[in-house]
Chains A and B, each alone.
Chain A
Amino acid sequence: MTISRRSFIKGGAIFGGGLAIGFNLSGCAQTEYPHFSATDLQPNAYIQVSPSGQVILQLYKSEMGQGVYTGMATMAAEELNMDPSLIIVQHAEFYPDFRDPEFYVMITGGSSSIKYGYTILREAAATVAAMLKTAAAQYLSIAESALNLKDGKVVYAGGEVDFATLLPIARGLATPTEVTLKSPQDFQYIGRHRQRLDALGKVTGKSEFGIDVQYPGAMTAVLLRCPHFGGKVSSFDASNALKMSGVKSVFEVDGAVAVLAETYWQARQAAGVVSVVWDKGPLAGVSSESLRVERHGMLTSEAGKNVEEKGEASAATGELFEAVYDVPYLAHATMEPMNAVAVATKEGIEIWTGNQSPDIALSEIADATGFKREQIRIHNHMLGGGFGRRIMPDYLVEAARIAQLSGKPVRLVWSREDDMRGDFYRPNATVAMSAMIDQSAVTSLQAKIVAPSILGGFVQFVTNTLLPQWLPKGLHKKIGGMASGSDPAAAEGIAHSDYEFPYMRTDYVEQKTTIPLGYWRSVGHSQNGFFIESFIDELAHQTTQDPVAFRLAHMAKDSRRRQVLELAAAKANWGNPPQGQFQGVAVHESFSTVVAQVVNVSIADGKIKVHKVVCAVECGMVINSDIVVAQMEGGIVFALTAALKGEITIEDGAVQQSNFHDYEVLRINETPEIEVYRVDSANAPTGVGEPGVPPLAPALANAVFAATGQRLRKLPLRLA
């Protein structure tokens, strides 16, 4: 196989090639690697072999629980014929090669790591393997065909030679331009290896998360931020705080107040006695309820932008059936609150943290501190949860600024309250779903979505990262504005579904707000899956058809969803729930992976009890089947929290929730039995971090309808 240019070309183009960002295309750019080693075999940015013969993988995606640490080591190990546990995995620093082919920046998101890594990493590993084999052939004077790699050695009929011995020869070889990849039937580890490689550190307390990083002499910083979005400090009095034990300084930083002390407890106690007068800023008076009311008005007052139209409007005959759905803001609430260690000198800034996009963070820190990107280093660690939250660079920027202004090494630690109130939230959204029904035949399916745009706020980060730094900052905002009206995430999962009705149409109306929004596990699908799969269920009932049969009858013949839905229905014994229980179903494709779920519920004392979730998934070829199962389980639990409990409310421009007592998350005693089944597939692998989320809420709401006759069109689900 010829090495695809994609994986080794440095840089990329944004917006369909409008602006190409060129990087050095020569094959000998190794000294640019942040992890460059003068003594290693290092033919690409991904995999190197040290003089002692150790194989080192640069983990260029962030491990936040989704399993890339294990998955990527497994893919690399396959081509090197070595047990994945023998590979040393290092968290990569930013390097242009590590930019995502889909997003053009170095980022972990969109469930894309395994999808692209499958080619990138096998090619990188096969290149290293080929060089070691060639070196061995020279060293032993044996034909390459008589040699094989095995667990960090080259083996042949008469014996073996280790990588360390071969390194001097291998380092002198030209990097091959073509390598042969193993064919899937020869895989030994892909699809077979089961153990999570990061588990040992996580059960012994030894894994290092950002919050665990020790830096000699680092002060702990806590930051008092304006509780009202967009607000800032007008004045503060720190005289009492400065008298407290361990406190070093209290100062203003970019509209907030920083308190520096020797320990977290001291800093937090002192912060509690700083009195601050806040300027509430532009969102004073804004509430989540006022925004909801505004959206409902916009359903009729605004035409919006047409995202998709299929078929002829004249085909939509019969009577109109319409339903309006709502979802609230949601917080990510990762278990590890935001934090970063920062050290600033005259030469630059160094950061230790856990983050999903060091690329974006470099640009934002550069902007905030006046240093160049090249003067900033970010060291990544294990992430105590990401779910999209850690794509944002805000907490790194804060730490960098505090370090810069104080001249001291600092560890910035957010409290849970800071985290809950300083998030970038899953947007709230309102959708009018409608259909025409002509004598029990559904002749159209239409959606009008009113929601704010995540992309509008986010694109400026990306352009700031990719466009030359001399471009005025205003331009990045402008590009963000251009992108926002047609944010694909706002309609994803409703538009371009493979349901088939004579007439189909989706429109999107953007609600302008400056409340911070972010990418939240499964993004637009997290709400749009609920909207479409609930409404499809309504249509099945309106036309007195079985919800599974109705879906099958209205999806494309070759739909990937078909087999997945059938498997889930069969395994769940669809139509025959245990006595006293009721079933609901949903099937949804997101991030190229299809998931169907059947939920069994009962109602007791006016409460919804979830007994069981049966889940079927098709995600192409599988790298680690147990991690696929774990991601489905985790996605289901995450989605149950959103369906049953999750709601961030805003009053006077400020978030009302603060900690796990008023933003509750699912606990073990509320967790149903979960069964996961996989549809076998030989297709290239697709991601599983997010796709387990979208079908859960509609399947659950549909089961509640079956149990009570109540159609709940608002999350979190509340029985009347």
Chain B
Amino acid sequence: MADLEFTLNGQQQTLSVDDGTPLLWVLRDHLAMTGTKFGCGMGLCGACTVHLDGSPIRSCSYPAEFVNGKAITTIEGLASSDENLHPVQQAWLEMNVPQCGYCQSGQIMSAVALLANNSAPNDAEIDAAMAGNICRCGTYPRIRKAIHRASELAVVQHYQPANTVKENV
């Protein structure tokens, strides 16, 4: 068994899971945090994207024991409430990005990480950063537009995907 201790969306988590359990299944099955999705299990689709100390990772292929002492942020941790959405979520709403919606948690987590490093990406930079996230419904044209819009909406006062939450550990 692996003993885990990490922060999840700012809250301390302590639990034990089988050795080698990917973070995705710790989130979904042990913690019932279902916003993060299962799409391929092989790091190919990005549906399971979460942040580890601010960087996007594919949680389906990331052994949970490696997150010990680190800060994990999932889609549920982006906004304090539906009335106070993260600018990326706000932009996604304005552009009516989601269709089935299943890939969108992962898309949004990748987009937030991109904008944290590059506050005004061009289309080529967007494509490079988002190429790991599949959308079978084909919302890509809107994802591009929404990332530009989110960049306008200024990623300031909201959750910053940096190491700043680390001291909570």
Contacts and interface: CB of A to CB of B under 8 A. Distances in A.
Contacts of A415: 41
B43 to A, nearest CB: 10
Contact of B100 (A337, A382, A659, A666): A382
Interface of A: 63-67, 194-196, 198-209, 211-212, 214, 220, 245-246, 262-266, 269, 333-337, 382-387, 413, 415-416, 626-627, 630, 633-638, 659-661, 665-669, 671, 673-674
A418 to B, nearest CB: 11
Nearest to B101: A202
B29 interface: yes
Given A194-B96, A264-B28, A416-B42, A333 B76 contact: no
Contact of B101 (A65, A262, A626): A65
A674 B145 CA distance: 12
B126 to A, nearest CB: 7
A220 B75 CA distance: 24
B134 A671 contact: no
Nearest to A414: B38
Contacts of A671: 138, 140-141
Interface of B: 18, 21-22, 25, 28-30, 32, 34-42, 44-45, 47, 74-76, 78-79, 82, 85, 89, 92-93, 96-105, 108, 126-128, 130-131, 133-144
Given A198-B98, A335-B136, 14 more contacts: A65-B137, A202-B98, A204-B75, A211-B38, A335-B103, A382-B102, A384-B37, A384-B101, A385-B102, A413-B38, A635-B138, A666-B140, A668-B143, A668-B144
A634 B138 contact: yes
B124 to A, nearest CB: 8
A158 B155 CA distance: 47
**Residue of B74, B127, B138 with highest tally of chain A CB at under 10 A:** B138
B29 A265 contact: yes
A214 B32 contact: yes
A262 B21 CA distance: 13
Most chain-A Cβ atoms within 10 A of its Cβ — which of B39, B131, B133?
A: B39
A245 B134 CA distance: 33
B79 A668 contact: no
Given A198-B101, A202-B101, A384-B100, A659 B42 contact: yes
A385 B100 contact: yes
Contacts of B82: 200, 204
Contact of A205 (B21, B105, B135, B139): B105
B143 A335 contact: no
A668 B108 contact: no
Contact of B18 (A202, A266, A674): A266
A345 to B, nearest CB: 24
B4 to A, nearest CB: 14
B117 to A, nearest CB: 17
B39 to A, nearest CB: 5
A245 B18 contact: yes
4 closest residue pairs by CB, A with B: A205-B35, A637-B138, A202-B101, A384-B102
A264 B133 CA distance: 23
A211 B28 CA distance: 10
B155 to A, nearest CB: 15
A265 B138 contact: no
Nearest to A195: B96
A335 B96 contact: no
Contact of B93 (A199, A208, A627, A673): A199
Contact of B25 (A264, A630, A661): A264
B40 A207 contact: no
26 contacts: A67-B99, A200-B93, A202-B98, A203-B101, A203-B108, A204-B78, A204-B85, A205-B36, A211-B37, A214-B34, A263-B29, A264-B28, A264-B38, A265-B29, A333-B136, A335-B100, A335-B103, A416-B41, A630-B96, A630-B139, A633-B138, A633-B141, A633-B142, A636-B138, A667-B140, A668-B126
A66 B127 contact: no
A545 B64 CA distance: 63
A671 B124 CA distance: 11
Given A203-B98, A203-B108, A667 B136 contact: no
Contacts of B21: 263, 265
A205 B105 CA distance: 6
A334 B144 contact: no
A415 B41 CA distance: 8
Given A202-B98, A382-B101, A668-B126, A335 B93 contact: no
Contacts of A66: 99
Contacts of B29: 220, 262-265
B146 to A, nearest CB: 10
Contact of A669 (B32, B40, B89, B128): B128
Contact of A668 (B18, B34, B89, B127): B127
Contacts of A194: 96
Contacts of B101: 65, 198-199, 201-203, 207, 209, 382, 384
B144 to A, nearest CB: 7
Given A198-B101, A334-B136, A665-B134, A206 B35 contact: yes
B100 A668 contact: no
A659 B85 contact: no
Nearest to B79: A204
A671 B105 CA distance: 20
Contacts of B79: 204
A336 B76 contact: no
Contacts of B44: 659-661
A385 B100 CA distance: 6
A524 to B, nearest CB: 21
A626 B96 contact: yes
A196 B100 contact: no
Contact of B140 (A263, A264, A637): A637
B24 to A, nearest CB: 9
Contacts of A660: 40, 42, 44-45, 134
Contacts of B22: 265
Contact of B98 (A196, A413, A416, A668): A196
Contacts of B104: 202-203
Given A195-B93, A416-B41, A630-B96, A205 B75 contact: yes
Nearest to A212: B34
B37 A204 contact: no
B139 A204 contact: no
